[in-house]
Structure 1
Amino acid sequence: MPILNLKKLSSYTHQFLQYNEYILAKGCLSLLRSLSPEKASDIGGAICRQIGTKLPVSKVADKNLQLVMPHLTPLERKRIISGVWENLGRTVAEFPHLANLKHNTPQGAGWEVVGGEYLTEQSKKIGPVLFVSGHIGNWEMLPLGVAKYGTPFSSFFRAASNPYVNELILNLRDEAMGQKIPMFAKGSKGARQALKHLLQGHRLGVLSDQKMNDGIEVQFFGRPAMTSSAVASLALKLQCPIIPGYVQRLGPARLRIVVEPPIDYSEFSENNLDNIHRLTQVINDKLEGWIKQNPEQWLWLHRRWPKELYK
Structure 2
Amino acid sequence: MTDSPTSALPFGTRARYFLSNLVLRALFGLALSLPYRWRVPMMGWLASHVLAPITGWRRRVRQNLAHVMPDLPQAEVERLSRAVPDNAGRTLIEIYSGDDFTARARRAPIEGPGLAALEQARDQGRPVILMTAHFGNYDVARAALIARGHNMGALYRAMNNPYFNAHYVRSIGRIGLPLFQQGRRGMMQLVKHLRGGGVLGILTDLYAADGVPLPFFGKPALTSLVTAELALKYNAPLIPTFVLRAENGLDFTVILQEPIAPSDPETMTREANDRLEALVREHMDQWFWIHRRWKNADRKA
TM-score when normalising by structure 1: 0.78
The aligned residue for residue 113 of structure 1 is 110
User: Is 1:220 aligned with 2:216?
Assistant: yes
Query: Residue 154 of structure 1: CA displacement?
Result: 1.4
CA distance in 1, matches of 2:297, 2:194: 37
The aligned residue for residue 249 of structure 1 is 245
The aligned residue for residue 193 of structure 1 is 189
Query: Residue 117 of structure 1: CA displacement?
Result: 4.4
Residues 31 and 136 of structure 1: is their aligned pair in 2 closer, same or farther, counting only changes over 3 Å?
same
User: Is 1:87 aligned with 2:87?
Assistant: yes
CA distance in 2, matches of 1:45, 1:141: 17
Query: Residue 64 of structure 1: CA displacement?
Result: 1.3
Query: Residue 166 of structure 1: CA displacement?
Result: 4.0
Residues 125 and 169 of structure 1: is their aligned pair in 2 closer, same or farther, counting only changes over 3 Å?
farther
1:67-103 residue CA offsets vs partner (Å, 9 max, x unmatched): 2223311111111121110001111122233533445
Residues 152 and 292 of structure 1: is their aligned pair in 2 closer, same or farther, counting only changes over 3 Å?
farther
The aligned residue for residue 271 of structure 2 is 282
After superposing the two structures, state which structure 1 stretch, 163-172 or 194-203, moved more: 163-172
Classify the secondary structure of the residue corresponding to 1:154.
strand
1:32-72 residue CA offsets vs partner (Å, 9 max, x unmatched): 44322220111101111102442434223212112222331
Residues 304 and 173 of structure 1: is their aligned pair in 2 closer, same or farther, counting only changes over 3 Å?
closer
The aligned residue for residue 3 of structure 2 is none
User: Is 1:298 aligned with 2:295?
Assistant: no
The aligned residue for residue 63 of structure 2 is 63
CA distance in 2, matches of 1:279, 1:61: 27
CA distance in 2, matches of 1:214, 1:284: 17
Query: Residue 231 of structure 1: CA displacement?
Result: 1.2
Q: How does 1:16-55 map to 2 (within 5 A)?
A: 31-55=30-54
Residue ranges of structure 1 left out of the alignment (5+ in a row): 1-7, 269-274
Residues 103 and 117 of structure 1: is their aligned pair in 2 closer, same or farther, counting only changes over 3 Å?
farther
CA distance in 2, matches of 1:69, 1:293: 14
CA distance in 2, matches of 1:162, 1:305: 22
Contact 2:138 2:243 in 1 (8 A): yes
Q: 2:230 aligns with which of 229, 234, 237?
A: 234
Code of the aligned partner of 1:230: V
CA distance in 1, matches of 2:14, 2:266: 45
Contact 1:123 1:150 in 2 (8 A): no
Classify the secondary structure of the residue corresponding to 1:49.
helix
CA distance in 2, matches of 1:219, 1:26: 37
1:157-188 residue CA offsets vs partner (Å, 9 max, x unmatched): 233467675453333333333xxx22121234
Residue ranges of structure 2 left out of the alignment (5+ in a row): 1-6
CA distance in 1, matches of 2:92, 2:155: 18
Aligned-residue RMSD, C-alpha:
3.2
Identity of aligned residues (%): 28
1:92-121 residue CA offsets vs partner (Å, 9 max, x unmatched): 12223353344599xxxx633223545444
Contact 1:49 1:89 in 2 (8 A): yes
Contact 1:120 1:149 in 2 (8 A): no
CA distance in 2, matches of 1:50, 1:232: 38
Contact 2:98 2:174 in 1 (8 A): no
CA distance in 2, matches of 1:261, 1:68: 27
Query: Residue 261 of structure 1: CA displacement?
Result: 2.5
Query: Residue 135 of structure 1: CA displacement?
Result: 0.2
- Structure showing greater radius of gyration is 1
Residues 35 and 302 of structure 1: is their aligned pair in 2 closer, same or farther, counting only changes over 3 Å?
same
User: Is 1:77 aligned with 2:77?
Assistant: yes
CA distance in 2, matches of 1:104, 1:89: 17
TM-score when normalising by structure 2: 0.81
Residues 27 and 65 of structure 1: is their aligned pair in 2 closer, same or farther, counting only changes over 3 Å?
closer
1:202-252 residue CA offsets vs partner (Å, 9 max, x unmatched): 221100001111011211111221101011111122221112111111123
